[in-house]
């Protein structure tokens, strides 16, 4: 009985609901995928394309469900002193060993920047999503991602849900030499389910915007001028611990 009760309790919140749904959707999906894989060994060459399609599409639903779960998980941020360079290097290594193997990374870090006031796990998610998009946008040959950090003597803003007023002086930029973002897409860029990719979920930037907002930070997107090589720039401003009060 107690298990049932706690189960219902979890499902009452949006996050709990998403988590239960995710579980219920992914179980039969893995059954479908497994069966399609078995079928692939049985069918002739001409039908293998179909079984592969089933696998790809079930993978896509899985990714969507995963992101929906993360997105609706309203975990409050647990702020601590974060060395943003360690976060960026962690994500860069993940990227270079995984989805961004052929991409050249360049870093221009300001070694004197203070700690960010942030939630490490959630900030990793932010830069993972931004760098994943950059890696998906750059050309197969000559793809380049530039990461920069700087300390800006910025404005003071209120931190959501807190009486503290913070500086927002940490600026982290993720730049790429991809095709840039069309002007008509820009106003909707951070909305959920906005995607131009056949296999996209459109939840990456929505999640990024939510996390940055929860931190009391700001995110902006800019196109890089043609004469500087073109591409996209995402600028994240995060509160630091320096000058707090
Ligand atoms: P997804 O990656 O699943 O499509 P996102 O929310 O991460 O969803 O991104 C939404 C859309 O924004 C992408 O489909 C793409 O059109 C555009 N976009 C995001 N980042 C970049 C980038 N660095 N260069 C070009 N387009 C981008
Ligand atoms: Mg994405």
What is the pLDDT at residue 70? 77
Residue of 177, 195, 231 to test ligand 1 pocket, by largest number of atoms within 8 Å of CB: 195
186 lines ligand 1 (CB under 6 A): no
Residue 137 · residue 176 · CB < 8 Å: yes
200 lines ligand 1 (CB under 6 A): yes
What is the pLDDT at residue 162? 66
Percent of the chain scored above 70 by pLDDT?
A: 87
- Quick: pLDDT tens for 180-233: 999 999 999 999 889 999 888 898 999 999 999 989 899 999 888 877 778 999
What is the pLDDT at residue 40? 93
Q: Taking residues 161-179, report their average pLDDT.
A: 84
What is the pLDDT at residue 156? 65
Percent of the chain scored above 90 by pLDDT?
A: 60
What is the pLDDT at residue 159? 63
Within 8 A by CB and 6+ apart from 42, the residues are none
Whose C-alpha lies nearest to ligand 1, atom 16? 196
- For 128-167, letters b (16+ CB in 10 Å) and e give bbbbbbbbbbbeeeebbbbbbbeeeebeeeebeeeeeebb
- Closest atom of ligand 1 relative to the 134 alpha carbon: 23
Distance (Å, whole) CA 219 – CA 232: 13
67 lines ligand 1 (CB under 6 A): no
103 lines ligand 1 (CB under 6 A): no
131 lines ligand 1 (CB under 6 A): no
Give how far the C-alpha of residue 145 lies from the chain's centroid of Cα atoms, to the nearest Å.
16
Residue of 205, 208, 219, 235 to test ligand 1 pocket, by largest number of atoms within 8 Å of CB: 205
What is the pLDDT at residue 245? 39
- Whole-number Å distance, alpha carbon 132 to ligand 2 midpoint, is 6
**pLDDT at residue 93 above 80?**
yes
Distance (Å, whole) CA 80 – CA 100: 29
Residue of 133, 136, 183 to test ligand 1 pocket, by largest number of atoms within 8 Å of CB: 133
Q: Taking residues 57-67, report their average pLDDT.
A: 86
- Whole-number Å distance, alpha carbon 4 to ligand 1 midpoint, is 40
196 lines ligand 1 (CB under 6 A): yes
- Whole-number Å distance, alpha carbon 202 to ligand 2 midpoint, is 6
Better pLDDT: 49 or 153: 49
What ipTM was estimated for this complex? Answer: 0.99
- Band (pLDDT 50/70/90 cuts) for residue 155 is low
- Whole-number Å distance, alpha carbon 138 to ligand 1 midpoint, is 12
């Amino acid at each position: 009985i107690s298990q049932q009760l706690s189960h219902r309790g979890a499902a009452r919140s949006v996050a709990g609901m998403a988590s239960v749904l995710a579980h219920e959707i992914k179980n039969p999906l893995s059954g479908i995928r497994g069966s399609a894989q078995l079928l692939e060994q049985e069918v002739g060459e001409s039908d293998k394309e179909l079984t592969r399609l089933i696998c790809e599409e079930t993978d896509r639903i899985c990714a969507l469900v995963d992101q929906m779960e993360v997105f609706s998980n309203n975990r409050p941020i647990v702020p601590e002193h974060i060395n943003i360079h360690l976060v960026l290097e962690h994500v860069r290594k993940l990227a270079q060993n995984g989805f961004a193997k052929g991409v050249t990374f360049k870093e221009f870090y300001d070694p004197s920047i203070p700690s960010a006031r942030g939630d490490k796990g959630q900030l990793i998610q932010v830069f993972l999503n931004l760098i994943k998009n950059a890696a998906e946008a750059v050309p197969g040959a000559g793809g380049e991602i530039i990461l920069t950090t700087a300390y800006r003597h910025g404005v003071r803003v209120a931190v959501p849900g807190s009486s503290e007023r913070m500086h927002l002086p940490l600026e982290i930029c993720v730049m790429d030499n991809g095709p840039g973002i069309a002007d008509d897409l820009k106003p909707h860029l951070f909305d959920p389910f906005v995607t131009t990719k056949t296999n996209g979920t459109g939840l990456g930037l929505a999640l990024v915007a939510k996390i940055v907002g929860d931190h009391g930070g700001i995110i902006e997107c800019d196109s890089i001028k043609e004469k500087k090589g073109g591409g996209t720039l995402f600028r994240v401003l995060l509160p630091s611990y320096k000058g707090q009060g």
